[in-house]
Structures are given as C-alpha cells and as structure tokens.
Amino acid sequence: MTEKLRLLHVHAHPDDESSKGAASTAKYVAEGVDVMVATCTGGERGSILNPAMDRPDVLENISEIRRQEMDRAREILGIRQEWLGWIDSGFPEGDPLPPLPDGCFAALKVEDAAAPLVKLIREFRPQVVTTYDENGGYPHPDHVMCHQITVAAFEAAGDPDAYPGLGEPWQPLKLYYHHTFHRERTKALHDEMLRRGLESPYEERLKDWKPDPENERRITTRVPCAEYFALRDQALLAHATQIDPEGPWFACPLDVHQAAWPTEDYELARSVIEPVLPENDLFAGLR
C-alpha cells in the first residue's frame, strides 16, 4: 500500500486502551502509523480501584476525572481519540444479576450503538481495526457490546446501502481481537519470576486455571513490542482512579515482562485480504 497506514482500536472504557495493546500501539505510532482509539463510554460507573484516589471529591467528579485521565494517556501514547458518547453500564453483581441501567451502552440495540462507530470508520478510514473477542475479554457487558458493535461496524462501514448519511463507504481490511491475558503468557511470567528467585503473584491464579489449547490456538499474531512496555506502564498510571501503582498491575517487574513475554497477542478474526499465518504485524500483507 502507498497510502498512510491507519489503525483503529475500539475500547469499552477509558483505561482499556492502556491495559490492552498499548505497547504495540506505541510501536506503531513510532513507525508513523496514524492510531485512533474509539472509546465507547465515559467509564462513569467504574469503581475506583486505587485506594489513594478513593475520595469524595473524586467520586463527585468521576466523569470529568476519567476524561482527564484519558487525555493524559492519549498524550503519552501519541494517539488520537474519540468518544462514541455512550453511558457506562457498570458491572452487574449479585444472584440474580440486576437489570442493566436504563439507557446504558449494553442495553442499546447493536445497530443503534454501532452507528457512531460506522461514521468514525468512514471518516478515519483505518485499514486495521481491533477490539475484544465475543466474550469481551472478560464478561463485562460493555466489553461484550463493544465486540458486537465493532463486528457490526466492520461489516457495515463498506456497504453503501448501510447507514446512509454517515459518510462515504470505507471497508477496513483486517479485524483483530486482543488476547492479552491468556494462560500461556501468565505461566511464562510466573516461571520467569521463580527462575529469578522472586515470589510470583500468579501462583494462586494458575492453580485453578487449566490449560486451554483451543483458546491458545486462536492467537494468530504476536507483535514484538517489549521496548515499549515502559511507555505502556506510563499510560496505565495515567488512569489513576483505576490503576494502583502498588497493586497487581505492577507486581511483576518490567524486565521480567520483557524477558518472559516480549509480544502483545492478537487473533485475526476477519480479513478481506488472504492472510499468511502466523503473523508478527497487524499490517502484515498491507505494507
């Protein structure tokens, strides 16, 4: 391809762009790729996960604070970012689960919720789009809906009969799912910690986490990006309401991450071009 490469990440909440794929994002930005993040919701119903930020003034202004955090992460990663404008659904808990709040993102019809994303795809014209798999990466209703609208928008954006009035059709060429937190990677980090004589934070998690070869086989694309892990961590820390510097995100040292698992991993879910698998580049076949 001779035109500029463009990459669109579609995420459910502010902070997801920094916890999933941020190092490969930074790598592509450094290579001159134009990277955009579409954030579906404002994260208004997210819990405050950093004890240092669990204060009344933060709770009262959580929407604005999470936008400010997103601005800082955007600057660190060197990306563009757009809000799709939907309202955070929150993470329902209880048995039985409570109904979703009226008007929230996950309660919308997929075709309605996908409309602003179709418009953004037609305006930004990415060759590559990423999002979560059908399980949302984890079963947060906003993550599942994010998957659904991204698949719908990927299919509809190039169709001149779909969503008339939302711009000239544009067909992205490849759609990927993030596979950040899989067992193979966690086991490698655990083993490297033990090899260095360090206490592993993953021991309890791995006890009941049985190998799932079928899920591991879904990974088609491993992007080498260890040199950008430190930048990823800076972007994570920008989301101070969500990330505790003393918490589990940073229980494993940076150099262990770089040595044990130097890639970020994806699944090629849709491709308009004929792929050659496995890949080490989201733009494989397009450069």
In the chain, where the domains are located:
6-181+217-271
Residue 13 assigned to a binding site: yes
Q: Residue 1: its pLDDT value, please?
A: 66
Does pTM top 0.85 for this prediction? yes
Q: Residue 95: its pLDDT value, please?
A: 81
Residue 16 assigned to a binding site: yes
For the residues 39-47, what does the mean pLDDT come to? Answer: 95
The CA dihedral of 253, 254, 257, 258, to the nearest 10 degrees, is -140
Across 192-201, b (16+ Cβ under 10 Å) vs e yields bbeeeeeebe
Q: Residue 2: its pLDDT value, please?
A: 63
pLDDT at 145 over 90: yes
Is the separation of the CB atoms in 229 and 263 below 8 Å?
A: no
Domain formed by 6-181+217-271, architecture: 3-Layer(aba) Sandwich (3.40)
Residue 239 assigned to a binding site: no
pLDDT at 59 over 90: no
Alpha-carbon span 275 to 268, nearest angstrom: 9
Angle between helix axes 115-124 and 141-156 (nearest 10 degrees) is 50
Alpha-carbon span 80 to 70, nearest angstrom: 11
pLDDT at 26 over 90: yes
